[in-house]
Amino acid sequence: MQNTVLRVKSLSKSFSNVKAINNISFTVNQGDIFAFLGPNGAGKTTTLRILLDIIKADDGQIEWNLEGSSNHLPQTSQIGYLPEERGLYLDIPILKSLVYLASIRGMDKTEAKKTALEWLERLDLADRAKEKLQVLSKGNQQKIQFIASILHKPAFAILDEPFSGLDPLNQEIFIEFIKEINKQGTTILLSAHQMQLVEKTANKLLLINKGEELYNGSLSGIYETHGNRQVIELHYKSGLNENSLNSIGEVEKIEIVDNALVKLTFGPNKEMKSILSALSKQEGDFDITSHKPSLHDIFLNLIKSL
Amino acid sequence: MSYIKQVITVTRWEFGRFFKPKNEAIGILIMLIVSVVFYFGSKYAFSDKSPEIKIFVHNDTNGGLTEVLKNDFDVKQLPSEQKDSFIRKLDVDKNLVLIDKKEDAIGLYAYKNNRDIKKLKNYIDVYHKQKEMQKLGLSAEQLSLVLSSAPIEESYIYTDNSRNRVILAYFFAGLMIMAVFLSFAYQFTAITGEKQLKITEQIVSAISPQVWMDGKILGITLTGISSMITYSFLSIIGGIIFFQFSGLPISAILDYLYLPSIVLYLPFALIGVLIWNAILAAIASIITDPNNSGKSSMMMLPIVFVISSFLVTREPDSGLSIFLSWFPLTSASSMPMRWAITEVGIWQLIGSFMLLVLTFYSLRKIAAKIFRVSILMTGKEPSWTEVYKFMNMK
């Protein structure tokens, strides 16, 4: 049985009259890559800041149990944090900043310097170790920020929007790094709004919207619970006749994207044979593609179903 | 990681960020150049290069006025028939001065009223007094007695013998003011800069706001103190050089370095600088945009500190001076200053110092509380009412 390292119960926080998070509960087990998913303003960053005691919750309980020590707050050396609002000393050499940030988390300076240089090497930034951060591109600054958050080899890393500001290539590289440090023993809690990237990274999810929990469980579980449907896309070559769609029958949802694309969602027990049979009677010239709902589709469906 | 270890790490970081030996050396070099330029410049500016005035005295029949002036001025008698033509010449020969002794006044004619004329008027004044006393029939000896000071035999229970102590107190006050204003600049740059660069969230996820604030206060105070020490050594070296040239023994500098005074001034100075750093750190924490904040002017508060030091020297036993020597925002300089000038009991020194320490302890706590809440307020600057609420938060 997996060891629970973070247990959050009924967490709530309001700013003035706005409920930022409402009764959120979740648990993170050792070795998890746990993703907070939600649109902007969903309450992800607020939750993470509460976990780190940067702001106080109005209500709820947080229990940490890292490396066998049970506390309200973990030791600083056990936690790594990549804030959403990036910031490092722009006028100080990169290596010096990294060593300082690791040392205030309890890492030995010599070890910090050695590990920082290793990471800089891996991210093709070793030759810029003595340069000031301000001369780096935004993407490279993001890499330095990432190194700063995990340099001291924390037992638990909180990464707030780790993929923002990165190009697709670097997003893929970051996914690999996150998986790698996770394999080396760091439990990850990340927040993001890029569903397709989270699908490739996380094993557990908490979907939230406007501070409310939409789903809490495993990644495979969300597909079983909400993704056991079939999405058929009809790509019309010569215009759509909307009236003909009425004859399709037991379709759960019809989404007319535009005059050339229609998305049909069929229920869990609908067989492909009967779907194709219904579609063969449709007027017009169109191609058919089929796929299971993506996390993005599921998330949108969940929001719409509220 | 222990609290002490974390504070030391942050202190060393802040000290390293701001104390740059190279910049310090450049600062000292500039100061030396400015001092040399100022010294020789002022010497040149105030040197009397204008030709000495030539005084002509008219109607000084007994030569009394000429006698008073002749040691310090170039004085000649002027025949009566030349008087009018002489006055006309004043427009051309601007160094000529005519003193015309009249029946009931002394006429003074010159191109313009300047420093030499003022000096000359003092001499005429002396001549006038002597003449009036002679009219009373006083002899030269009697005249000398009248003009001499009263023969007072002084005897006091308390003798401060404080000249050297006052100089040292001024010296420490000056260094403290320098340290406070240096800290002001560093503290402002450090905290508002970190808020603007959004580093603070990263930092306080690793250490508590109290550790961060304590490290910052200590580190930046250390920077100010380092400058104080540097300039103290420079002043001692400057003093040695001065004594060397002035013919006094170099050991005379030791008269000023009176150990009991240093033992008293140093802890007061140290806690005083720490207190001001805590205040400045708290103010800087609530400033979101230093260019447009109305609270930036609060950073000039240390001027209170400067003014208080000078007030105490004027009237050390007044109620205001006693208050300033106990009030924690001014006592760091005012109490040592009073001790140097007047009689101050040991209990007053200990009491004032204890109050200073307690104030610092509380202020650093308040500063951390304010910082903790205002850290994420990057868009909106908190009002004073909100700041007051922050201070009372648990």
Residue A16: the pLDDT is: 77
CB B76 within 8 A of CB B52: no
CB A210 within 8 A of CB A227: no
Whether residues B1 and A106 touch (CB distance < 8 A) is answered with: yes
What angle do helix axes B384-392 and B346-374 make, rounded to 10 degrees?
110
- Which stretch of A5-14, B33-42, B252-261 has the lowest confidence by average pLDDT? B252-261
Fold classification of A1-74+155-223 (topology level): Rossmann fold (3.40.50)
Measure the CA–CA gap between B191 and B10, rounded to whole angstroms: 13
- Average pLDDT in the B49-78 region? 83
Average pLDDT of chain A, as a whole number: 85
Whether residues B202 and A89 touch (CB distance < 8 A) is answered with: no
Position with higher pLDDT, B112 vs B298: B112
Distances (CA, A) of B140 to B77, B137, B145, B146, B227: 25, 10, 9, 10, 59
Measure the CA–CA gap between A76 and A93, rounded to whole angstroms: 24
Q: Model pTM greater than 0.80?
A: no
Residue A280: the pLDDT is: 79
Please determine, for residue B390, whether its predicted confidence score (pLDDT) is greater than 70. no
Residues 6+ away with beta carbon under 8 Å from A251? A264, A265, A266
Measure the CA–CA gap between A303 and B183, rounded to whole angstroms: 53
Residue B326: the pLDDT is: 92
Please determine, for residue A174, whether its predicted confidence score (pLDDT) is greater than 60. yes
pLDDT tier at A297, thresholds 50, 70, 90: confident
Percentage of chain B modeled with pLDDT above 70: 85
For chain B, the structural domain boundaries read: 3-31+162-392, 54-147
Restricting to A residues 174-203, those with a Cβ less than 8 Å away from any Cβ of B are: none
Class of domain B54-147: alpha beta
Class of domain A227-304: alpha beta
Whether residues A104 and B200 touch (CB distance < 8 A) is answered with: no
Residue B362: the pLDDT is: 93
Of A76, A87, A92, the CB nearest to B1: A76
Q: Does B374 touch chain A (CB under 8 A)?
A: no
What is the tens place of the pLDDT at every residue in A187-210? 999 998 888 888 888 999 999 988
Measure the CA–CA gap between B78 and B57, rounded to whole angstroms: 6
For chain A, the structural domain boundaries read: 1-74+155-223, 87-151, 227-304
Please determine, for residue B49, whether its predicted confidence score (pLDDT) is greater than 60. no
Q: Does B203 touch chain A (CB under 8 A)?
A: yes
pLDDT tier at B183, thresholds 50, 70, 90: confident
